[in-house]
Chains A and B, each alone.
Chain A
Amino acid sequence: MSGIQVQGSAVSRDVGLWEWFSNPETWTSERGILPSLLDTLTLCAGVMVVAIMIAVPLGASLAHKRKGEITATGVVNIGRALPTFAVAGLLVPISLRQGWGFEPWPIFIALTLLAIPPIYLNTYTAVRQSNSGAVEAARAMGFSERDVLFRVELALGAGLILAGIRIAAVQVVATEPIRAYLGGDGLGRYVRDGLGQNNQTLLIGGAILVAGLATATGLLMGLGERLVLPEGVRRLRVSQSRTV
């Protein structure tokens, strides 16, 4: 079988995990790990940008107006319980029939729905729970409502909001592999091929890659939070996250 030139698709079952990982071809070939990783990261980044653009303004403005407390938890719970696979699976035939292809809309929408709840919930909580003394003081100093929201409530809640974004990002990265089951590729392709071809090397290797990426995402974003947040807000975050 090894004599046949296979176009970067199948990996023999006899190839061990280490052998697979240490082969440069595995990483750099046309459908290798690096292009797949880039593919996955591009999609996830796009999803996160859209989710943040929807969830943060919505959560902040509703919380600032003290509106929609019950819907806040309700929406979040529905979002959390919604099986992403079913949503994406329902959307695929629709997308195909509309001529939009397999990718990226079905998986993009499904992942965005997954990412919105944690960001929305944390933004809502952050703004809602911001120190009422600080808010009153700002108003007394003649801050406009806009300034109260942006310069006091959002600033003080930045830590919690960033934490929400981090949680969402980890979930999105860990869930994105289902796209391999819906006519796409990305990093999930190794898990899919491993399961389909009964190939433990691909399956375990793929699982390590996805879990590693999700873990790295969480760590890097946690590090980013430390760098971005001012000392005072960081301390605040510790006491705040305990009251959530």
Chain B
Amino acid sequence: MKKSSLLAIVLAVVVAILLAATACGDDDDDSGADGGAAPEGPTITIRGQDFSEAETIAEVYAQYLQAKGYDIEILTAAGFRAEAVDGIRNGDLDLIVDYIGGSQTELRPDEDTSASPDDVISVITPAYEEIGATVLDYSPAVDGDALVVRGDADAEKISDLVGKNFAFGASAQCYERPQCFIGYTAPDVYGIEFGEEKTIEFGPLLGEALKAEEVDAVVWNTTAPQIEAEGFKVLEDDKGLHPAQNIAPIINTETLDAYGDTLSSDLNALSAAISTEDLLQWNTETDINKRESDDVAAEWLEAESLT
């Protein structure tokens, strides 16, 4: 008796869940183009990398183009740079937005990096051409690499860490990059010896670890909103190890040609409108105020009168 009524309740829950999941599952709101001549061309597939800022950036570019009447498909954010570049290479993706210095470490790891965005662009443009993609104008918005310490740390620039035996925390990627761990420890660059090296997933855990004094210095990004909120400080890169990290859209050349100049000028206009402060503000919304990246992107586009 008792058992069968329990079964009945659970079955009811199952049915309810299934109904909830299937019913009104997808109500696509294709607002489409608002009057005027919609640009003609193939569907543009976009996928953001799997962290808040990249997800918001992908949403901004996708929603902007959608409002201009382009045919856009936005995929769930997944993977990081390697997967984004692979997507461009094998044609799964038409448009990615990447940090230019990061793109260089992916495509031309052996060439010297530079703090000047134009130098970096001159390296990655031919590299992307090889895989059938075009690098459009870079944005003034920068999200650079940052070596971050607690506010009370006795250091202002990265070379101040020499001889301090700080405990160091960074993602697995950093440990194999000349512009990151390898550069910090190389005798001919910074020559720092860290007391301990910890691998920590990129993201808020870095801040938690720094605050809890599990580590004393972490490799983060300049637009991480927790830096200001927690009173951390970014050390000055006094030997110019970190490359320029402006954001730039990279688009499949065939797709770009199919649309002609309108697409590139539309994208360039958007890139020019984004500033570093905008990135910081978006991250504050998503990571501190816990809002969703698509809402944040829509709000910003509206406020800037871009949609």
Any A–B CB pair closer than 8 Å: yes
- Chain A residues close to B by CB (< 8 Å): 1, 4-7, 9-10, 70, 92-93, 96-97, 99, 101-102, 180-183, 185, 189, 192-193, 195-199
Which stretch, B129-137, B143-151, B178-186, touches the partner chain A?
B178-186
How near does chain A come to B270, taking the closest CB pair, in angstroms? 30
Q: Besides the contacts A5-B185, A5-B187, A189-B199, what 19 more A-B pairs have beta carbons closer than 8 Å?
A: A4-B182, A4-B185, A4-B186, A5-B186, A70-B6, A97-B208, A99-B212, A101-B212, A101-B214, A102-B198, A102-B209, A183-B198, A183-B199, A183-B200, A183-B201, A192-B172, A192-B199, A196-B171, A197-B176
Task: Report if B197 contacts A (CB, 8 A).
Answer: yes
Q: Which residue of B lies closest to A1 (CB)?
A: B178
B212 and A180 contacting across the interface, CB-CB below 8 Å: no
User: What is the bound-complex CA distance between A189 and B6, given in angstroms?
Assistant: 44
A185 and B199 contacting across the interface, CB-CB below 8 Å: yes
User: What is the bound-complex CA distance between A170 and B187, given in angstroms?
Assistant: 44
Task: Report if B173 contacts A (CB, 8 A).
Answer: yes
Given contacts A1-B182, A4-B182, A181-B201, contact A197 B212 (CB under 8 A): no
Complex interface residues of chain B between 188 and 233 (CB less than 8 A to chain A):
197-201, 205, 208-209, 211-212, 214
Residues in A with CB closer than 8 Å to B82 are 198
Indicate which residue in A96, A102, A193, A195 contacts B175 across the interface (CB closer than 8 Å): A193
Interface centre among B82, B173, B176, B182 (most CB of A within 10 A): B176
Complex interface residues of chain B between 55 and 95 (CB less than 8 A to chain A):
82
User: What is the bound-complex CA distance between A196 and B177, given in angstroms?
Assistant: 12
Q: Which residue of B lies closest to A193 (CB)?
A: B172
How near does chain A come to B200, taking the closest CB pair, in angstroms? 5
B173 and A197 contacting across the interface, CB-CB below 8 Å: yes
Residues in B with CB closer than 8 Å to A198 are 82
Indicate which residue in B181, B197, B209 contacts A96 across the interface (CB closer than 8 Å): B209
Question: Can you list 29 A-B pairs, Cβ within 8 angstroms, ordered by A?
Answer: A1-B178, A4-B178, A4-B182, A5-B185, A5-B187, A6-B185, A7-B185, A9-B176, A9-B181, A10-B175, A10-B182, A70-B3, A92-B205, A93-B205, A96-B212, A101-B212, A102-B209, A183-B198, A183-B199, A183-B201, A183-B209, A183-B214, A192-B172, A192-B199, A193-B175, A193-B199, A195-B172, A198-B82, A199-B176
Q: Write out, one digit per residue, whether chain B residues 4-40 have a CB within 8 A of any chain A CB (1) or not (0).
A: 0010000000000000000000000000000000000
B212 and A9 contacting across the interface, CB-CB below 8 Å: no
Q: Which residue of B lies closest to A181 (CB)?
A: B201
Q: Interface size bucket, B side? A: 20 to 34
User: What is the bound-complex CA distance between A197 and B205, given in angstroms?
Assistant: 19
Q: Which residue of B lies closest to A99 (CB)?
A: B212
Indicate which residue in B6, B173, B205 contacts A183 across the interface (CB closer than 8 Å): B205
User: What is the bound-complex CA distance between A198 and B109, given in angstroms?
Assistant: 13
Q: Which residue of B lies closest to A12 (CB)?
A: B176
| Secondary structure dominating the interface of B | helix
B173 and A196 contacting across the interface, CB-CB below 8 Å: yes
- Chain B residues close to A by CB (< 8 Å): 3, 6, 82, 171-173, 175-176, 178, 181-182, 185-187, 197-201, 205, 208-209, 211-212, 214
A197 and B172 contacting across the interface, CB-CB below 8 Å: yes
A7 and B197 contacting across the interface, CB-CB below 8 Å: yes
Q: Which residue of B lies closest to A6 (CB)?
A: B182
Q: Which residue of A lies closest to B189 (CB)?
A: A4
Residues in A with CB closer than 8 Å to B187 are 5
User: What is the bound-complex CA distance between A107 and B31, given in angstroms?
Assistant: 47
Q: Which residue of A lies closest to B173 (CB)?
A: A196
Residues in A with CB closer than 8 Å to B178 are 1, 4
Residues in B with CB closer than 8 Å to A7 are 185, 197
User: What is the bound-complex CA distance between A69 and B197, given in angstroms?
Assistant: 49
B172 and A97 contacting across the interface, CB-CB below 8 Å: no
A97 and B198 contacting across the interface, CB-CB below 8 Å: no
How near does chain B come to A30, taking the closest CB pair, in angstroms? 10
User: What is the bound-complex CA distance between A181 and B185, given in angstroms?
Assistant: 24
B214 and A9 contacting across the interface, CB-CB below 8 Å: no
A197 and B199 contacting across the interface, CB-CB below 8 Å: no
Q: Which residue of B lies closest to A183 (CB)?
A: B200
How near does chain B come to A204, taking the closest CB pair, in angstroms? 16
User: What is the bound-complex CA distance between A182 and B169, given in angstroms?
Assistant: 12
User: What is the bound-complex CA distance between A120 and B183, given in angstroms?
Assistant: 52
Residues in B with CB closer than 8 Å to A189 are 199
Sort A-B residue pairs by CB-CB distance and give the 5 closest, nearest first: A196-B172, A10-B176, A96-B212, A9-B175, A193-B172
Residues in B with CB closer than 8 Å to A10 are 175-176, 181-182
Residues in B with CB closer than 8 Å to A195 are 172
B176 and A180 contacting across the interface, CB-CB below 8 Å: no
Residues in A with CB closer than 8 Å to B211 are 96
Residues in A with CB closer than 8 Å to B197 are 7, 9
Indicate which residue in B3, B175, B200, B209 contacts A197 across the interface (CB closer than 8 Å): B175
User: What is the bound-complex CA distance between A101 and B214, given in angstroms?
Assistant: 6
User: What is the bound-complex CA distance between A190 and B175, given in angstroms?
Assistant: 13
User: What is the bound-complex CA distance between A195 and B208, given in angstroms?
Assistant: 23
Residues in B with CB closer than 8 Å to A101 are 212, 214
User: What is the bound-complex CA distance between A6 and B212, given in angstroms?
Assistant: 27
